[in-house]
Amino acid sequence: MAESDPKPSHFIKETIISDLAAGKNGGRVHTRFPPEPNGYLHVGHAKSIALNFGLAAEFNGLCNLRFDDTNPAKEETEYVDSIIEDVRWLGGDFGDRLFYASDYFQQLYDWAVELIKTGKAYVCDLNAEQLRETRGTLTEPGKESPGRTRSIEENLDLFARMKNGEFPDGSRTLRAGIDMASANLNMRDPVMYRILRAEHHRTGNQWCIYPMYDWAHGQCDSIEGITHSICTLEFEDHRPLYDWYIRELGIHAPQQIEFDRLNLTYTVMSKRKLLQLVQQGLVKGWDDPRMPTLSGMRRRGYTPEGLLAFARGLGVSKTNGITELSRLEYHIREDLNKRALRVMGVLRPLKLVIDNYPEDLVEEMEAVNNPEDSSAGTRKVPFSRVLYIEQDDFREVPPKGYFRLYPGNEVRLRYGYLVRCTGVVKDPATGEVTEVHCTYDPATRGGDAPDGRRVKSTMHWVSAAHAVDAEVRLYDTLFTLESLGDVPEGRDFTEFLNPKSLETIAAAKLEPALGNTAPSARYQFERLGYFCADKESAPGRPVFNRTVALRDTWAKIEKRG
């Protein structure tokens, strides 16, 4: 039963609790996550994974991973592999319960034959266009197919010949004989099988008829003994059909419960659209760190824990809405704050020369690895006469309220000394500041003045002679439009791609220890955000992705001084 909190927090949990109380399903809870392998998983799937695996764990149940691979034309092994990796990454524990709808093709075929024998299914000779034309509309009933009056014997014969490859693709279908006048269009003699000569990623060319998703899904759930078949709202209208099939076959009846899809601001959440971005080369692949895919988020540095905290915090409802991207970033930041080691890196370097610091001296300054976690310890960072600071941290003429470095002002170099700006060197041609000069107070080693005098700013730095160069990639939202559901008629969503979604800094300067970072190592670059080493990093030449910025850094640091 539920571990700590006995009060149900949403309607799906409530349903499960009352089913358990009523002794339904012999006290079992068995869910499944059923992706179609036609693309990489996205953050919307994380919501479904968190829900299905989370409920199973909470109620001592099981959750299967099942590929709904009924559409050979769009499905590939690459997608299967990536989905397994992503589900595991999010901690989805499916044990040895990895299944495929294609495992059940024979059973589904046999059940279709059973429905023909009970007069509930028939072979229809209409082609796709004719099917559409006779389907009717929301206000008009559809027309019955001539195939509906065939004898059972003839249907059995034709269906077997469909399977044996005697008819061309698309020339016939097997349909359920339900009700062409039903108010629910899904019940108007839905197609169960189509003829399609396509190689399937698992069954090869064994089949030339394939079950429709609607004919396969409920029966697959039933075969696996699923108790609660949790899916998104668009399947609500399909539920009567799923229930009809299960009833006619007289097999175990899973209970379908629908919840709202996750939508996020400034991004798309559809494998079809994400595929379009990949195929048109508008992003650098499925795992481009700007993509809302789990592989993109992983590469960008998002943690599974942060994503799960986000997904769980969403709850479930019966209406689709849109969630702020900032809410996701909040959870990622919260998680990284606890675990990421702090380091110093300068994105846009400006030379700072300490005129009174000995030429040859290098001091090893002690720096705290994570103020949130004392067990992370400290490290040594080299300090010398010539440093790099951020261009932003110096102004020749400070605007009002600017407390960082400007001529005459004193600031703290984190873990270093207090320094006072004495002047600048400029490029005579352009007038651009090329060096800032300062003096340091040797009595302030570590950053505190013995006389208690205070400075208003603490700045990060790296020693110029020791720094390693790194490529750093900064990201903005993938789209400029807040709600991609609002793309105006006649325009394509790709027109709203953000041209500034990626900014590459070719030569940022980092602490020397970051020169040989393992890909996917995560750090907080002090005052700049959380960063993750990219898979394109090479020894001595790291590449970092900014995972997420530190929203309120300035406020915190300047108060501390």
Nearer to ligand ATP, 260 or 471 (CB): 260
Q: How far apart are the first and last CA of the chain?
A: 51
In terms of C-beta density within 10 A (0-12 exposed, 13-18 middle, 19 or more buried), how is residue 358 classed?
A: exposed
Strand partners, 523: 341, 531
Helices 325-339 and 304-314, packing angle to 10 deg: 140
Question: Nearest distance from residue 308's CB to ligand ATP, in Å?
Answer: 14
Q: How far is CA 175 from CA 121, 148, 188, in A?
A: 5, 9, 9
Q: List own/partner pairs for 234-243 with CB under 8 A and 24 or more apart.
A: 234/261, 237/184, 237/185, 237/186, 238/186, 238/214, 240/184, 240/186, 240/187, 241/176, 241/178, 241/184, 241/186, 241/187, 241/190, 241/214, 242/214, 242/217, 242/218, 243/218
* 3-state DSSP assignment of residue 378: strand
Give dist(CA 531, CA 548) in Å, integer: 7
In terms of C-beta density within 10 A (0-12 exposed, 13-18 middle, 19 or more buried), how is residue 206 classed?
A: exposed
| 35 binding ligand ATP? (CB under 6 A) | yes
Question: Nearest distance from residue 541's CB to Mg ion, in Å?
Answer: 41
Question: Nearest distance from residue 130's CB to ligand ATP, in Å?
Answer: 27
- Listed ranges 17-25, 35-43, 143-151, 542-550: which one lies at the site for Mg ion (CB under 5 A): 35-43
Question: Nearest distance from residue 80's CB to ligand ATP, in Å?
Answer: 11
Q: How far is CA 94 from CA 38, 42, 154, in A?
A: 20, 19, 43
Q: What's the longest Cα–Cα distance across the chain?
A: 102
Amino acid at 79: Y
| Helical segments of 369-463, H only | none
| 44 binding ligand ATP? (CB under 6 A) | yes
The one of ligand ATP, Mg ion, none whose footprint includes residue 228, by CB under 5 to 8 A per kind, is none
Give dist(CA 111, CA 104) in Å, integer: 10
Among residues 97, 120, 201, 261, which is the contact residue for ligand ATP, using CB under 6 A? Answer: 261
Show contacts with Mg ion in window 448-507 (CB under 5 A): none
Nearer to ligand ATP, 55 or 269 (CB): 269
The residue with its CB nearest to ligand ATP is 44
Question: Nearest distance from residue 147's CB to ligand ATP, in Å?
Answer: 30
- Find the helix or strand (DSSP H, E) in which 546 lies: strand 543-548
Show contacts with ligand ATP in window 269-288 (CB under 6 A): 269-271
Nearer to ligand ATP, 75 or 390 (CB): 75
Nearer to Mg ion, 260 or 482 (CB): 260
The one of Mg ion, ligand ATP, none whose footprint includes residue 231, by CB under 5 to 8 A per kind, is ligand ATP
| 36 binding Mg ion? (CB under 5 A) | yes
Among residues 20, 262, 418, 532, which is the contact residue for ligand ATP, using CB under 6 A? Answer: 262
Whether 36 sits among the annotated catalytic residues: the reply is: yes
The one of Mg ion, ligand ATP, none whose footprint includes residue 34, by CB under 5 to 8 A per kind, is ligand ATP
- Dig out the tokens for 550 from the structure: 């530190």
Question: Nearest distance from residue 68's CB to ligand ATP, in Å?
Answer: 6
Size of the site for ligand ATP (CB under 6 A): 14
Among residues 25, 34, 87, 332, which is the contact residue for ligand ATP, using CB under 6 A? Answer: 34
Question: Nearest distance from residue 44's CB to ligand ATP, in Å?
Answer: 2
> What phi and psi values does residue 422 have, to the nearest 5 degrees?
-110, -20
Active-site residue (options: 36, 85, 363, 435): 36
The residue with its CB nearest to Mg ion is 36
Active-site residue (options: 28, 143, 148, 261): 261
Give dist(CA 337, CA 20) in Å, integer: 39
Show contacts with ligand ATP in window 192-231 (CB under 6 A): 231
Whether 395 sits among the annotated catalytic residues: the reply is: no
Q: Which residues are catalytic?
A: 36, 261, 271
Binding site for ligand ATP (CB under 6 A): 34-36, 44-45, 47-48, 231-232, 261-262, 269-271
